[in-house]
């Protein structure tokens, strides 16, 4: 007796994914509403949170999907920030229109940095990136001429007649939110593409992926420059809000890369949702415990130490992070469906269908 083969098809999204996607859109719309308001304190929090989401997501794209663990991403934060200073103070350009060229400067700088750092592997790459970031910091610190002004730091000149305080906070918050949405969207589209499949193969087994024809160097190079572009843009947006900049903070490992690593480890490395959740948790808790009206008041240094210890505990007992552990327990729990599943037969009507993750 012959049987007709059941039809097979590839699926990505599920009902749960669609529901979570709608909730994500609603959250973004709510944040846009707050950003367009007239509360500088809330707008400041939106800018800071969105900047952390961008830099954490980009660090995760490197470490979680290419295996490039970098301790030097603060180099691109500082480059983006100081490029903004040069365009704004040095050439008198509009501070907001200077964000894009500042990010492009970070991208251009990432090319020779990649050519140098990619000669290293593993822990040597991580340390090498840290050394490169320190070299860039020292070079900027030693440049005493205007508009950089060396180690003493400088301030971004914002014409108050063009940008009143209320308008500046509002515009900066909307730009930061737009940058975060764009960064996460680019990551999701990248991981859904052929490059995304190659990246995941490289992450799982670099030599095996290379043997199957994946150009490991090229794929990593593409991701590295994309991460540098968005990280530089985040640095520029941050200092549009903060105004005052110094090399030690703009290029500080404790100011940027250390918190970023904690965020990604807490949320879940190798996922799109993990860094977003980790950044939100890290920032919101820090904002509470370091505020003057908090019942539990900690300095930024003590908070970083405690969150570092928490990240170690999570890494030991939840190696995939909080979101990774949750999505592992409930596989359909995805906001950004990048996994492909080959479904044979009617998935809804027959739970015994054969499914294979691809």
- Beta sheet of 355-357, edge-to-edge order: 8-11, 341-344, 355-357
122/344 Cα distance (integer angstroms): 40
Residues in the chain: 358
The answer on pLDDT for 351 being more than 80 is no
Least confident of 165-169, 289-293, 298-302, 338-342: 338-342
pLDDT at 330: 78
Comparing 251 with 291, which gets the higher pLDDT? Answer: 251
Closest CA to 203 of 323, 327, 357, 68: 68
Q: How confident is the model at residue 142 (pLDDT cuts 50, 70, 90)?
A: very high
Residue 349 has pLDDT above 50, yes or no: no
Sorting pLDDT into bands at 50, 70 and 90, what band is 214? Answer: confident
Question: What confidence score (pLDDT) does residue 297 get?
Answer: 74
| Domain ranges (residues) in the chain | 8-155+163-357
Global pTM value: 0.88
Return the pLDDT at 312: 84
Whole-number Å distance between alpha carbons of 224 and 59: 9
82-119: pLDDT as tens digits = 999 999 999 988 899 999 999 999 999 999 999 999 99
Closest CA to 37 of 170, 129, 199: 170
Question: What's the pLDDT at 295?
Answer: 63
What average pLDDT score do residues 154-161 get? Answer: 79
The pLDDT of residue 245 is above 90: yes
Q: What percent of the chain lies above the pLDDT cut of 90?
A: 49
Q: Which residues are within 8 A (CB) of 275 and not within 5 positions of it... i.e. 6 or more apart?
A: 53, 56, 57, 59, 60, 263, 264, 267, 268
Does residue 346 sit in helix, strand or coil? coil
302 and 289 in contact (C-beta within 8 Å)?
A: no
Phi, psi at 118, each rounded to 5°: -70, -5
Longest CA span, the chain:
87
Distances (CA, A) of 111 to 134, 176, 242, 322, 342: 17, 25, 28, 34, 38
Q: Which residue has the tokens 């979570």?
A: 20
pLDDT at 47: 96
What is the reported pLDDT for 352?
41
Pairing of strands 355-357, 8-11: unpaired
pLDDT at 341: 61
Helical (H) or strand (E) element with 356: strand 355-357
pLDDT at position 357 is 43
CATH architecture of the domain with range 8-155+163-357: Orthogonal Bundle (1.10)
At 41, is the secondary structure helix, strand, or coil? helix
346/35: higher pLDDT: 35
Backbone angles phi, psi at 146, to 5 degrees: -70, 150
pLDDT above 70: residue 284: yes
* Pick from 143-147, 311-315, 336-340: least confident: 336-340
Tell me the per-residue pLDDT of 287-312, one tens digit each, with 9 for 90 and over: 887 776 666 777 777 777 888 788 88
pLDDT of residue 196: 80
- The model's pLDDT over 3-39, given as tens digits with 9 standing for 90+, comes to 555 565 556 667 778 888 899 999 999 999 999 998 9
Q: Transcribe 54-85 into DSSP letters.
A: HHHHHHHHHHHHT----S-THHHHHHHHHHHH
Contact of 75 with 260, CB cutoff 8 Å: no
257 SS3 class: helix
Tell me what pLDDT residue 160 has.
64
The CA distance from 80 to 86, in Å, is 10
Q: Which of these, 252, 79, 88, lies nearest to 156 by C-alpha position?
A: 88
Percent of the chain with pLDDT over 70: 89
Q: Supply 251's token pair.
A: 């290029």
pLDDT tens string 31-88: 999 999 989 999 999 999 999 999 999 999 999 888 899 999 999 999 999 999 999 9
So what's the pLDDT on residue 355?
A: 42
Average model confidence (pLDDT) across the chain: 85
């Amino acid at each position: 007796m012959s049987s007709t083969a059941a039809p097979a098809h590839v699926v990505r999204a599920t009902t749960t994914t669609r529901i979570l996607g709608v909730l994500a859109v609603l959250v973004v719309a709510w944040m846009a509403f707050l950003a367009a308001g007239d509360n500088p304190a809330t707008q400041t929090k939106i800018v800071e949170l969105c900047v952390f989401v961008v830099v954490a997501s980009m660090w995760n794209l490197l470490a979680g999907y290419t295996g490039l663990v970098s301790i030097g991403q603060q180099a691109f934060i500082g480059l983006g920030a100081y490029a903004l200073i040069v365009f704004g103070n040095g050439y008198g350009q509009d501070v907001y229109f200077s964000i894009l060229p500042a990010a492009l400067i970070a991208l251009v700088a990432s090319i020779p940095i990649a050519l140098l750092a990619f000669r290293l592997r593993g822990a040597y790459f991580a340390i090498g990136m840290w050394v490169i970031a320190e070299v860039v910091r020292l070079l900027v610190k030693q440049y005493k001429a205007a508009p950089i002004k060396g180690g003493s730091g400088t301030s971004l000149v914002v014409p108050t007649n063009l940008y009143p305080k209320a308008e500046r906070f509002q515009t900066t918050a909307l730009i930061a939110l737009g940058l975060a949405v764009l960064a996460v969207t680019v990551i999701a589209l990248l991981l859904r593409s052929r490059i995304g499949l190659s990246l995941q193969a490289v992450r799982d087994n670099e030599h095996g992926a290379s043997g199957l024809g994946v150009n490991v160097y090229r794929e990593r190079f593409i991701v590295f420059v994309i991460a540098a572009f968005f990280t530089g843009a985040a640095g520029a947006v941050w200092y549009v809000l903060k105004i005052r900049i110094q090399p030690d903070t703009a290029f500080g490992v404790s100011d940027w890369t250390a918190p970023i690593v904690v965020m990604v480890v807490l949320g879940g490395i190798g996922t799109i949702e993990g860094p977003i959740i980790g950044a939100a948790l890290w920032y919101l808790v820090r904002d509470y415990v370091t505020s003057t009206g908090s019942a539990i008041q900690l300095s930024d240094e003590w908070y970083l130490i405690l969150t570092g210890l928490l990240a170690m505990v999570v890494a030991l007992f939840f190696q995939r992070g909080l979101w990774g552990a949750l999505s592992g327990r409930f596989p359909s729990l995805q906001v950004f469906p990048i996994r492909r599943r080959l479904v044979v037969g009617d998935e809804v009507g027959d739970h015994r269908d054969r499914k294979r993750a691809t």
